[in-house]
Amino acid sequence: MALVLAIVAVLAIIYVVPFVIYAGASALRLVDIPSETSPQRFLLGVLVTKLGTAVAFVLILHLGWPGGWLTYSLIWFAMFAASEIGDAISGRSTWAEALLGVLSEAIYAPLAALSAFAILGLG
């Protein structure tokens, strides 16, 4: 049960934090709302992607991560940040979107790791 709870907690964190960051940036007109699909379809797509990430995040930890939560979160943050920068370089996203993504990840990677460690009794 702790495994499922950890996945749900991580999913909530990694879904909500970027939503709040991007919504704020959108309200300030720093980024545009995606227009290539409906908002519901866009958010569902993000949710499915984040679900896969949450499952991997928790299962890798559960299967025997040997270090602490901060190291774990820094490794995930580095992977996420590199992906955001790569998307901006390739033109799949704007630099503003990439920077907002990196900001989101700087917040949610440690929160997700700390939560998962606590729920799984590892910290």
Above pLDDT 70, what percent of the chain? Answer: 99
CB 6 within 8 A of CB 58: yes
Q: In 29-119, which residue ranges form alpha helices assigned H by DSSP?
A: 39-62, 69-90, 95-119
DSSP 65: -
Residue 32: pLDDT band (50, 70, 90) is confident
Contacting residues for 37 by C-beta, under 8 A, at least 6 apart: 45
Over the stretch 61-110, which tens digit does the pLDDT of each residue have? 999 889 999 999 999 999 999 999 999 999 999 999 999 999 999 999 99
pLDDT of residue 31: 86
Which residue matches tokens 């949610």? 108
Residue 52: pLDDT band (50, 70, 90) is very high
CB 47 within 8 A of CB 15: yes
> In the chain, how long is the greatest CA-to-CA distance?
43
Residue 36: pLDDT band (50, 70, 90) is confident
Over the stretch 96-119, which tens digit does the pLDDT of each residue have? 999 999 999 999 999 999 999 999
pLDDT of residue 34: 75
- Cβ count within 10 A of residue 46: 16
> What is the amino acid identity at position 15?
Y
All structural domains of the chain with their residue ranges: 2-119
Tokens of 69: 């939560």
CB 41 within 8 A of CB 34: no
